[in-house]
Amino acid sequence: MAAHRRLVLVLGGARSGKSAYAEGRATALAGPHGRVLYVATAEALDDEMARRIVHHRASRPASWRTVEEPRDPAAAMRAAAPDTRVVLLDCITLWLSNLLSALQAQDDGTPEEAAAEEAVDAGVTGLLAAYQAGTADLVLVSNEVGLGIVPAYPLGRLYRDLLGRVNIRLAAAADEVVLMVAGIPLQVKGHDKT
């Protein structure tokens, strides 16, 4: 009997240890010879982000395959090699930012809330469908941005609200949800079965 696949959602604030924990979790799920596909959603739009990307690349095992897909991570998951054991998507937060930026460019301003919700809903539906159709475990990284102050501008409030809804949907579908606080993983849902 085949082992149950796992969907793991790792949440936390900036510099909370999300990526390091997710990488460790992906390694554990893959086992000693399992293939990991790292789906990166970051884009090097400035020097500082380019340095962050270089740092993240250097921290990953050389055996992992990396695909950069800022707007359609589901497509990267569907194209994963058949022997991929784990897909690690880092991160939902930047994917949503990229999606809203594309909508903002089309609208020359803050995107309409209904259009943004529709695009984001379709993206999450596609992501979950790609996981369900595949054979690999999935580890998702996302930020928890709803604990701070209310953003002072409409696009910031739209982003915060949409990410909160995305995280709720992903957490509902996940087998395991971990909240990172100051580098410490707090198990919110499920438990580590590796």
Q: What gap in Å lies between CA 193 and CA 161, rounded to an integer? A: 32
Active site residues: 56
CATH number for position 82? 3.40.50.300
- The percent of residues above 90 in pLDDT, for the chain, comes to 69
Q: Which two tokens stand for residue 73?
A: 């991570």
pLDDT in tens, 149-181: 888 988 899 999 999 999 999 999 999 999 999
Query: If we measure between CA atoms, which residue out of 45, 26, 49, 47 comes closest to residue 36?
Result: 26
Q: Is 192 inside any structural domain?
A: no
Q: Is the pLDDT of residue 2 over 80?
A: no
Q: Is the pLDDT of residue 42 over 90?
A: no
Q: What gap in Å lies between CA 117 and CA 103, rounded to an integer? A: 11
pLDDT interval class at 44 (50, 70, 90): low
Q: What gap in Å lies between CA 138 and CA 128, rounded to an integer? A: 10
Q: What gap in Å lies between CA 120 and CA 95, rounded to an integer? A: 10
Q: Is 191 inside any structural domain?
A: no
Under 8 Å CB-to-CB from 105, ≥6 apart: which residues? none
Q: At residue 155, what is the residue type?
A: L
Q: Is 48 inside any structural domain?
A: yes
Mean pLDDT of all residues in the chain? 90
- What is the per-residue pLDDT for 194? 66
Range of the domain at 59: 7-180
**3-class secondary structure, 28:** helix
Q: Is 189 inside any structural domain?
A: no
pLDDT in tens, 53-82: 677 777 778 889 999 999 999 999 999 999
Q: Decide if 159 contacts 25 (C-beta within 8 A).
A: no
Q: Is 1 inside any structural domain?
A: no
Q: Please tell me the total count of domains within the chain.
A: 1
